[in-house]
Amino acid sequence: MHVLDSSAFIHEYHTAEEMASIPAVEEELEDESAYRYDAMEGAGMHIHIPADNTVETIERAAAETGDAEELSDTDVRLIAAAFELDGTLVTDDYAMQNVAEHLGVVVEVIAREGISEQREWRFQCQGCGREFDDHRDRCPICGSDLSRKNPA
């Protein structure tokens, strides 16, 4: 089962495999892309609504990889759908790819190169320079903003 992100509809993705998506993807689409979503739903594309506990699992995984701030609710629910359906997530979104691969979900990219490595981001204080593994709104030491940085 291939679980389709909005980029799959925008780039007119095709596969012979069974397809699924979530209702929130249709809300993100406009014009021709929205028409393709409707047409694929009419042709048998499965519409999946992931369970709340699975969504929570994805949110925890996104926090672990440092991608939580980059993912929308729709992104989280798409990863959850692929996780529940044991499917392949079809997306061009790097943060989604990172979280999906962290969870062992297979990812297929469409128009871009996929990620070459999984990352667990670090967060650095803009004031005192200290680094943290988890994202916080402010540095607990000096109160300055934190920014995401590549751990390499």
pLDDT given for residue 122 in this prediction: 72
**Which of 60-64, 113-117, 140-144 shows the lowest mean pLDDT across its residues?**
113-117
Most confident of 24-33, 95-104, 121-130: 95-104
Return the domain boundaries, the chain. Answer: 2-108, 121-152
Q: pTM of the prediction? A: 0.74
Residue 123: CB atoms within 10 A of its CB come to: 19
pLDDT given for residue 117 in this prediction: 56
Q: pLDDT per residue over 26-54, tens digit each? A: 998 888 888 889 989 888 999 999 999 99
Whole-number Å distance between alpha carbons of 93 and 4: 12
The more confidently predicted of residues 117 and 149 is 149
pLDDT given for residue 18 in this prediction: 94
Q: Are 88 and 114 in contact, with CB atoms under 8 Å apart?
A: no
Give 127's pLDDT tier (boundaries 50, 70, 90). Answer: confident
Catalogue the long-range contacts made by 133-141 (C-beta closer than 8 Å, 24 or more residues apart).
134/63, 134/66, 135/63, 135/66, 135/68, 135/69
Q: Are 103 and 61 in contact, with CB atoms under 8 Å apart?
A: yes
Q: Are 86 and 41 in contact, with CB atoms under 8 Å apart?
A: no
Looking at domain 2-108, its CATH architecture is: 3-Layer(aba) Sandwich (3.40)
CB burial of 30-66 (b: ≥16 within 10 Å; e: otherwise) equals eeebbebbeebeeeebeebebeeebbebbbebbebbb
Q: Are 95 and 75 in contact, with CB atoms under 8 Å apart?
A: yes
pLDDT given for residue 142 in this prediction: 83
Identical fold between 2-108 and 121-152: no
Q: What single-letter DSSP state applies at residue 104?
A: T
For the chain, give the mean pLDDT: 87
The more confidently predicted of residues 32 and 135 is 32
Whole-number Å distance between alpha carbons of 116 and 142: 35
Give 114's pLDDT tier (boundaries 50, 70, 90). Answer: very low
pLDDT given for residue 47 in this prediction: 96
Q: What is the topology classification, in CATH, of domain 121-152?
A: Rubrerythrin, domain 2 (2.20.28)
